[in-house]
Amino acid sequence: MIGHTLRLQRRHFIRQCTSFLSKESPTVLSPIHHKIHPRDNNDIFISSSSIVIRRTLARSSNHSAETPEDKAITFVVSIGHERRVAEGVVNALKESGMSGEMLLSMVRSMAGRWEVGEDEGLDALVASVKQTLDLSEGKKVVTFYVVPPNAWASSQEDATDEEQNDVMHDETEEEKKKMRTRAFVVEAVEGTSIADVAKFGAGEGASTLRDYVECACSGIMACSTCHVVIDPEWFDVVGGPIEAEEDMLDLAYAPRSTSRLGCQVVLTKEHDGMVIRLPKGANNMMDFIPFED
């Protein structure tokens, strides 16, 4: 009877200690080792007859269990995003009122079938978070100009002259000037690809670009739907394609001598003021792949 009474008193005291510590610092009770782990440097050990509280130095080896938020960050990193961006995504969802398992479930749901490029919203959130972080870290906004298809000789028939030379190189200064007056302005943060600006960019210019540029392969250089033509005067600044990109450009609609895939052109401050042109059409091989329903 005395032993039973002591056990009851001990349990009551433990509850009191736990209640007190929960007000001072979040705690996790570990019944297996009979130890309460507050998130500060207080260690509470439970013996058979008393509770001893002592202060110890924090050890790097003492880690609390991984939270759903930690798992969400790990997941976002595992599918190819930077940790700082993953943390930003989780913080953005927490600010919207989500937490715990609901937040983790939302992140996984938004990722969709990411293995095959079927995103359900995570990519857009990642792009938004990345842009915010980039601006806060001092990255610059790059302005470039986009010539729509109806403002230049953009069709397949107009691509070359009788000797198969690129007709762009025969344009007069007057024609170039007139063409550029019809270009629309796009702004994006340096470090962003032209394709990502088309998919996730903000502002009227990016929205207009989105109407013209498709990104069927999600930027893995497996199609040519983000094909753009760099104005000849800017091609040396942008640079030419690597061999793998050239293979895709060979399949593009009306490729030119300065053609590039938008997913491979990453904006830098040197591209400020750049002029690109949009072809009249796009060849999308994805339309002819017999995916199963």
Sequential DSSP letters for 162-204: TT--BGGGG--HHHHHHHHTT-EEEEEETT-BHHHHHHH--SH
For residue 281, what pLDDT is reported? Answer: 87
CA–CA gap between residue 233 and residue 258 (Å, rounded): 10
**Other Cβ atoms closer than 10 A to 48:** 9
Residue-range domain boundaries for the chain: 68-136, 141-155+174-277
The CATH class given to the 141-155+174-277 domain equals alpha beta
Which positions ≥6 away from 114 have C-beta within 8 Å? Answer: 79, 122
pLDDT of the residue at 287: 54
Q: How many CA atoms lie within 13 A of 37 on its CB side?
A: 12
Pairwise CA distance, residues 14 & 247, whole Å: 70
Angle at 201 between CA 265 and CA 115, to 5 degrees: 70
Which helix or strand (DSSP H or E) is residue 51 part of? Answer: strand 51-55
- Give the pLDDT of residue 83: 95
Q: Consecutive sets of 10 residues in the chain, 293 residues long: mean pLDDT of each?
A: 44 39 36 38 41 41 76 94 94 93 94 85 90 91 95 76 63 87 95 93 93 85 92 95 93 92 95 95 65 47
Pairwise CA distance, residues 146 & 186, whole Å: 7
| CA 156, 161, 164, 167 torsion-angle sign | negative
User: How much helix, strand and coil, in percent to the nearest 5, is found in the chain?
Assistant: 45, 15, 40
